[in-house]
Structure 1
Amino acid sequence: MIDTIDENFNRHARQVPERTPGMIVNELPGLTYVDSGLSCDTFNILHISNGSALSAATLEAAVTYYRSRGLDYCIWIGREQLTAEVGGFLQQAGVSRQNEEVGMILDLGDYAIRRHPDHRNVRIADQPDRIADYARVLAHNWTPPDQNVVRFYARTAPVYLASDSDIRLLVYYQEGKPVATLELFPSDAETVGIYGFATLQDFRGRGIGSTLFTFALNYARSAGYRRVILQASEDGLGIYKKYGFKAVTTYYEYA
């Protein structure tokens, strides 16, 4: 299950940039790193996927890539890959731990479909204006809103809208106003990950997030996926456990 989560995370970081002109994905032994063309650590992700294959020189080369271009970036690594040796490589590269999240998984066979009348307020972003709505809501995760998020989705919209795309960007509308978002990102026929889950500050505490979340789980089960994965902050652990998610690993962010 840990490999399943790691593979979904890696594909999520690189798949859309790989298909977007002007964005670059580099793969070196033990890691993948993404240059979105924006100085934004939300999308410029260096993912250490195989600590045993990693060398200090390889990590240094990837970090130097970002620094030489003046790009913000972040490094993500799962607990199982963070050996003492890899920890030493990170220290040599001059980065430090900034954050950690819990990798969780839900067996959809244990999830019962939940109906809610407000599910009708959720729309799949299947046209440019809805992708723009998704981006504007997500940008408000930062203060002030991060316009690099808006730029990223403006550039990548053709990838999400392509006829062969199975990524689903969901937007919750309250009286016509986009107020919450969630992304369903599949890495194989059985596994889908949840990303970009956000609600505007003024609309929190109204049950909008949980309504959007159950819509997403219902959609995933109806679409035939067998498992859902996500990365949770400490604050979200209890909520996700109520839906049946189980903690299986920890991810660490360095910058």
Structure 2
Amino acid sequence: MGTAMNIRDMQRCIEDNLATRLAGQVAMVNGGDVIYRPGVAVPQREKGPGMPMPPEVTQLEQPALLARSDVRAVYAGVASDTFNKAFAYGGGLPLTDTVAAVRSFFGGHGAPYTWWLGPLSGAGDGAGEGEDIPAALAAHGFAVGEVETGMYLPLADAELEEPAPTPGLDIRVVRDAAGVADFASVLAANWNPPDGEVLRFYRRAAPALCSPGCPATLLAAYLDGQLAAAAEVYRTASGYPAAGSAAHLDVAGVYNVCTLEAFRRRGLGTAVTRAALLLARQAGCRHAVLQASGEGYRVYARLGFRDVGRFVECVPVD
């Protein structure tokens, strides 16, 4: 494989980053352990002196990852489909069997969830891309929810310098529990009333998010001293030769770009996204990926991202 990415390479970067981040949610809440169903032992993250410990959780709240050749599913220990997700349909087994496994996994936790499919994993972009899995899932009690655009940006060559900094804007890398709480409150405010499950997840994940070496970096933006916006970067390895080594975290996934309602239409979404990309490039990332909603698409396109395929959310309706 050469160093230049084609469109399928870009799609693979997005899907791998998304799947790895989903599994990472389990490790964050478990303090480093990933609990697989069926069980596969994973060594616990070492905890150094003074490292904060996550809160104790009940058995029902214990996060878990279903890892199969045909699908991955994550239960994050909270009652929210913001975090509880199945991802992909890899084929190899009848779709009926895969659906049964996903329903059984989430049913055991009594948890809401959604099922995301990417351009290489069931949400093909048209003729010649194989079976239309979202349509096939309709026969199994699912309906299409959100449809987002997978986007890619070569970070090394991106023009990211802000032409005119916003007066009074202070974008900070989150380094402590108070910062995590600020980030979470911006994200939770996407719902009315604010989603308490989002706040609960980040309270439990805060020790991991504040630990050295965490692949997730949160940013919180303040305008004239008031909390205003947020974004997340999650780093994974592409394995491409240009990365220097297969283990190098050279892909930056951008997530949870959001602005509090009182501060919208001031360019803060663009500013916090640009800050996230600059941070990722400084950390050695060469590729940036994300899934864009209709509202965010133009923001990311102006920053140089290109459309490389669609991601489809399937929601269980019975």
- Whether TM exceeds 0.5 here: the answer is yes
Paired residue secondary structure (1:165)? coil
- Residue 162 of structure 1: how far off its partner (Å): 1.4
Q: Distance in 2 between matches of 1:52 and 1:61?
A: 14
The superposition leaves residues 179-198 of structure 1 with CA deviations (integer Å, 9 ceiling, x where unpaired) of 10000000122100000100
The superposition leaves residues 126-182 of structure 1 with CA deviations (integer Å, 9 ceiling, x where unpaired) of 000000000011001111111100000001111111122132100001232221000
Residues 33-48 of structure 1 aligned to structure 2 (within 5 Å) = 33-48=73-88
The superposition leaves residues 89-136 of structure 1 with CA deviations (integer Å, 9 ceiling, x where unpaired) of 523431111110000000113312314544960111100000000001
Residues 99-138 of structure 1 aligned to structure 2 (within 5 Å) = 99-115=146-162, 117-118=165-166, 121-138=170-187
Q: Distance in 1 between matches of 2:206 and 2:113?
A: 22
Residue matched to 1:200: 260
- What TM-score, normalized to structure 1? 0.93
155-164 vs 127-136, greater mean Cα deviation: 155-164
Gaps of 5+ in 1: none
Gaps of 5+ in 2: 1-9, 31-61, 123-129, 238-248
Q: Alignment partner for residue 114 of structure 2, among 71, 74, 81?
A: 74
Residues 85-104 of structure 1 aligned to structure 2 (within 5 Å) = 86-87=133-134, 90-104=137-151
Does 2:288 correspond to 1:228?
yes
Q: Distance in 2 between matches of 1:217 and 1:167?
A: 13
Q: Distance in 1 between matches of 2:113 and 2:99?
A: 13
User: What amino acid is aligned across from residue 156 of structure 2 in structure 1?
Assistant: G
Return closer, same or farther for 1:88/1:213 CA change in 2, 3 Å cut-off: closer
Paired residue secondary structure (1:121)? strand
Q: Distance in 2 between matches of 1:96 and 1:197?
A: 26
Residue matched to 1:180: 229
Contact 1:168/1:184, CA 8 A, preserved across alignment: yes
Contact 2:250/2:286, CA 8 A, preserved across alignment: yes
Q: Alignment partner for residue 11 of structure 1, among 9, 20, 29?
A: 20
Does 2:29 correspond to 1:20?
yes
Percentage of matched positions with identical amino acids? 30
User: What amino acid is aligned across from residue 29 of structure 1 in structure 2?
Assistant: S
Contact 1:16/1:159, CA 8 A, preserved across alignment: no
Does 2:70 correspond to 1:30?
yes
Paired residue secondary structure (1:103)? strand
User: What amino acid is aligned across from residue 109 of structure 2 in structure 1?
Assistant: R
Q: Distance in 1 between matches of 2:131 and 2:77?
A: 33
Return closer, same or farther for 1:89/1:29 CA change in 2, 3 Å cut-off: farther
- What TM-score, normalized to structure 2? 0.75
The superposition leaves residues 68-109 of structure 1 with CA deviations (integer Å, 9 ceiling, x where unpaired) of 432110000013332427446523431111110000000113
Q: Alignment partner for residue 213 of structure 1, among 273, 283, 287?
A: 273
Q: Distance in 1 between matches of 2:230 and 2:66?
A: 29
Return closer, same or farther for 1:30/1:108 CA change in 2, 3 Å cut-off: same
Paired residue secondary structure (2:231)? strand
Residue matched to 1:168: 217
Paired residue secondary structure (1:234)? coil
Q: Distance in 2 between matches of 1:187 and 1:219?
A: 14
Higher Cα Rg, which structure: 2
Contact 1:181/1:198, CA 8 A, preserved across alignment: yes
117-126 vs 237-246, greater mean Cα deviation: 117-126
User: What amino acid is aligned across from residue 18 of structure 2 in structure 1?
Assistant: F
Root-mean-square deviation over aligned CA pairs: 1.9
Contact 2:169/2:222, CA 8 A, preserved across alignment: no
Q: Distance in 1 between matches of 2:27 and 2:104?
A: 21
33-42 vs 43-52, greater mean Cα deviation: 43-52
How many residues of Structure 1 are paired with residues of Structure 2 in the alignment? 255
- Residue 51 of structure 1: how far off its partner (Å): 3.5
Q: Distance in 1 between matches of 2:271 and 2:135?
A: 44
- Residue 254 of structure 1: how far off its partner (Å): 0.5
Paired residue secondary structure (1:29)? coil
